Amino acid sequence: MTNDVLQITLPKAGSLEPESTSRFYEQALRLALEKTRHASERIQFNYHMHDVRRERARLLVKNGTLDIIWSSSNKKRETELMPVKFNLIRGINEYRLLLIRADDQPRFEQVKNLADLQKFKIGSGTHWSDTGIYRFNGLPLVTAYSYEPMFRMLKVKRFDYMARSIQEVNYELEHYGKSGLTIEKNLAIHYPQPIYFFVNHDNRDLAERIQRGLEIARDDGSLDALFFSIPNFKQAWEQLQQLNRKVIELKAPE
């Protein structure tokens, strides 16, 4: 009798974010599947051959080319795909620091509330779920389809700041943010934005299995161990526990 093989097709490793971060999501998925694996089953991950942007990756899940993607959630995405409603990274992505031009720090010293922040232009990705939140809260927007050019757009004053999660911002500053960009000293933005696994609506059994596996891994501590093994997640969580900043709350669209 041959063993059963569960084959899961994922986005190409490192195509959606830095490879260390994508490794966490892959390992969390494998952990959930292993927790619910029967004795004769073997789990095999396959990878899409091309680098794709998130919007394209969601379409590939929708048409069945990919089996799963991890993504921030909003109502539109939860309509188009089936979410596994388990927040994967403890909400660390829901607190955003402001990436600004260093010379502009004195301007941001005057920001005390949302109305003050609405005097500045924020840069955001065309297809990011964040963009809808910023628009809903009246923040003047400049959008870009591609991610990497946005750091140059900030430098050349196309907009005034980018709001980046605690686990992203130091990496981005190091890799993209040279020559005059810095993290604003006093402010943070917060809004609800869970990160879920998403599957095709025809894959309900897989979604329910992942949900069950993640809950087991949470309860036995193995998911926490994985989370804290990712250096930028661990650093972000520790930083969040002692966040000494003025937090501006944004609302998510209903």
Indicate if the pLDDT at residue 2 is higher than 70. no
Q: Please identify which residue in the block is written with the tokens 């809004």.
A: 191
Summarize pLDDT for 46-96 with one digit per residue, the tens: 999 888 888 889 999 999 999 999 998 888 899 999 999 999 999 999 999
- The Cα–Cα gap between 162 and 100 comes to 7
Q: Which residues contact 151 (CB under 8 A, 6 or more apart)?
A: 162, 172, 176, 177, 181
> What percentage of residues in the chain have a pLDDT greater than 70?
98
Its pTM stands at 0.85
pLDDT value at position 169? 87
pLDDT of 76 reads 87
Across 103-131, average pLDDT: 95
Mean pLDDT of 153-177: 89
- At 1, the pLDDT band (50, 70, 90 cuts) reads very low
Domain architecture of the chain: domains with CATH: 4-90+194-220 (3.40.190.10), 92-192+244-249 (3.40.190.10)
pLDDT greater than 50 at residue 136: yes
Q: Is the pLDDT of residue 168 over 90?
A: no
pLDDT digits over 197-219, tens only? 999 999 999 999 999 999 999 99
Average pLDDT over residues 3-18: 84
Residue 188 pLDDT more than 90?
A: yes
In whole angstroms, what is the distance from residue 13 CA to residue 18 CA?
9
Residue type at position 200: N
Rounded Cα gap, residues 140 and 136, in angstroms: 10
Per-residue confidence (pLDDT) for residue 240, from 0 to 100: 93
Structure tokens at 45: 């991950």
Looking at residue 3, what is its pLDDT? 62
**Beta carbons within 10 angstroms of residue 218's beta carbon:** 15
